[in-house]
């Protein structure tokens, strides 16, 4: 399998960045990713002042996909996410929703699929990707989610899920980083269990695009529309309306029927409230499609 090693990192999505690997559609690639701190928390309780926060959220890549042109859609199937042996977190006042005294940079062991948190608390890993995106026409950083994907922090982006992303520049220029060993909805303390990981993805191309409203996620049991905005109100309404329009197109339900069905079995969820744009997803069970 072709691999992009974790020294090939960038701190943005920019079409001027030289691709580090070029593949044909349908190939499988391993992205070795660094955690969101660029692996600077190299021991437990490291002093926050020693971290260079300009090195936040590195992404591995970019990957060029042959034949990908603006208007196409990239289909990225997440086949595996293999954690390293520890995760890191950093919490401090002013970041996240909680009132926390001081700055706390921590490291926790991960072994045999279990995170060993404090006080004997053990949490099963549920690995996921925080940042995954194609390059937008206008360069951007890796801090915010947007139409290109980016810092989505959607906990459903785990093993076995597929994400559909827009192609905005030739080659698509896919990049991945910021993996989490586990994350709750909201990512409320500003970070998840941040980890370096090996991410194995199969990358396909849908020429001429689809009617899927990207970024769009499919798991074994559900589909998800997504939206990010400055306010949660706007993010939630737009994510829900994207699913409503998609259901009408895909199923032939009337607008009234689709709205009723979504109100019955759809779940409008907060994905994160801590990035520059806040994110919501509308989750719909595939068994009703």
Toward Ca ion, which CB reaches closer, 194 or 229?
194
With binding defined as CB under 5 A, does residue 132 bind Ca ion?
no
Question: Could you tell me the smallest distance in angstroms from the CB atom of residue 184 to Ca ion?
Answer: 12
Cβ of residue 104: shortest distance to Ca ion, in angstroms?
16
Q: Which residue, 156 or 194, is less far from Ca ion as judged by CB?
A: 194
Answer for which of 4, 21, 30, 36 binds Ca ion (CB under 5 A) is 36
- What binding mask, one character per residue, do residues 221-260 give for Ca ion by CB under 5 A, x or -? ----------------------------------------
Identify which range of 124-132, 160-168, 238-246, 249-257 contacts Ca ion by CB under 5 A. Answer: 124-132
Which of 77, 42, 54 is closest to 199 using CA atoms? 77
Q: Output the residue with the shortest Cβ distance to Ca ion.
A: 130
For residue 3, what are the CA distances in angstroms to 31, 41, 87, 96? 6, 25, 22, 34
As to burial, measured by CB atoms within 10 angstroms (0-12 exposed, 13-18 middle, 19+ buried), residue 92 is: middle
User: Minimum distance from CB of 244 to Ca ion (Å)?
Assistant: 27
Task: Please identify which residue in 32, 72, 153, 156 interacts with Ca ion, judged by CB under 5 A.
Answer: 153
- Closest to Ca ion by CB, 23 vs 232, is 232
Does position 130 interact with Ca ion (CB under 5 A)? The reply is: yes
* Other residues' Cβ atoms within 10 Å of the Cβ of residue 263: 10
State how far the Cα of 209 lies from the Cα of 229, in Å rounded to an integer: 24
Q: Which positions from 180 to 219 touch Ca ion by CB under 5 A, shown as an x/- string?
A: --------------x-------------------------
Residue 260, by phi and psi: left (phi above 0), alpha (psi -120 to 50) or beta? alpha
Could you say which of 151, 225, 226, 271 contacts Ca ion (CB under 5 A)? Answer: 151
Shortest separation between residue 56's beta carbon and Ca ion, angstroms: 9
In this chain, which stretch among 178-186, 203-211, 219-227, 244-252 interacts with Ca ion, using CB under 5 A? 178-186
To Ca ion, the closest distance from the beta carbon of 276 in angstroms equals 11
Considering beta carbons, is residue 36 or 197 the nearer one to Ca ion? 36
Q: C-alpha distances in angstroms, 263 versus 246, 248, 257, 259?
A: 15, 14, 10, 6
Name the minimum Å distance from CB 192 to Ca ion.
5
Among 66-74, 103-111, 146-154, 281-289, which window interacts with Ca ion (CB under 5 A)? 146-154
CA distances from 230 to 12, 134, 199, 238, 278 (A): 20, 21, 30, 12, 6
Residue that has been written with the tokens 């929703």 in this structure? 97
Buried b (16+ CB within 10 A) or exposed e, 112-141: eeebebeeeeeeebbbbbbbbbbbbeeebe
Q: Which residues face 23 on adjacent strands? A: 65
With CB under 5 A as the contact rule, the residue among 72, 156, 178, 283 that binds Ca ion is: 178
Instruction: Based on the shown chain and the rule CB under 5 A, indicate whether residue 35 belongs to the binding site for Ca ion.
Output: no
Q: Is 261 exposed, middle or buried (0-12, 13-18, 19+ CB in 10 A)?
A: middle
Give the residues lining the site for Ca ion (CB under 5 A).
36, 130, 151, 153, 178, 194
């Amino acid at each position: 399998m072709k691999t992009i090693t974790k020294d090939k990192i960038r701190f943005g999505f920019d079409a001027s960045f030289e691709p580090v690997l070029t593949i044909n559609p349908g190939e499988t690639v391993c992205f070795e990713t660094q955690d969101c701190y660029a692996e600077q928390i190299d021991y437990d309780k490291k002093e926050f002042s020693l971290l260079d926060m300009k090195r936040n959220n590195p992404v591995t890549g970019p990957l060029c996909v042959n034949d990908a042109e603006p208007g196409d859609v990239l289909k990225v199937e997440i086949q595996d996410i293999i954690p390293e042996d520890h995760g890191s977190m950093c919490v401090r006042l002013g970041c996240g929703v909680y009132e926390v005294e001081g700055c706390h940079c921590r490291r926790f062991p991960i072994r045999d699929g279990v995170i060993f948190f404090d006080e004997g608390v053990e949490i099963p890993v549920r690995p996921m990707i925080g940042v995954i995106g194609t390059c937008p026409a206008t360069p951007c950083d890796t801090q915010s989610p947007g139409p290109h994907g980016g810092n989505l922090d959607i906990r459903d982006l785990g093993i076995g899920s597929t994400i559909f992303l827009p192609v905005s520049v030739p080659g698509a220029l896919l990049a991945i980083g910021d993996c989490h060993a586990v994350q709750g909805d909201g990512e409320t303390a500003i970070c998840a269990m941040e980890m370096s990981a090996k991410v194995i993805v199969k990358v396909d191309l849908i020429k001429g695009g689809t009617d899927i409203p990207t970024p769009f996620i499919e798991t074994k049991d559900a589909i998800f529309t997504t939206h990010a905005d400055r306010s949660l109100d706007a993010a939630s309404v737009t994510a829900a309306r994207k699913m409503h329009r998609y259901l009408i197109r895909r199923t032939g339900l009337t607008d009234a029927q689709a709205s009723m069905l979504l109100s019955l079995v759809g779940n409008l969820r907060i994905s994160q409230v801590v990035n520059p744009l806040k994110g919501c997803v509308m989750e719909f069970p595939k068994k009703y499609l």
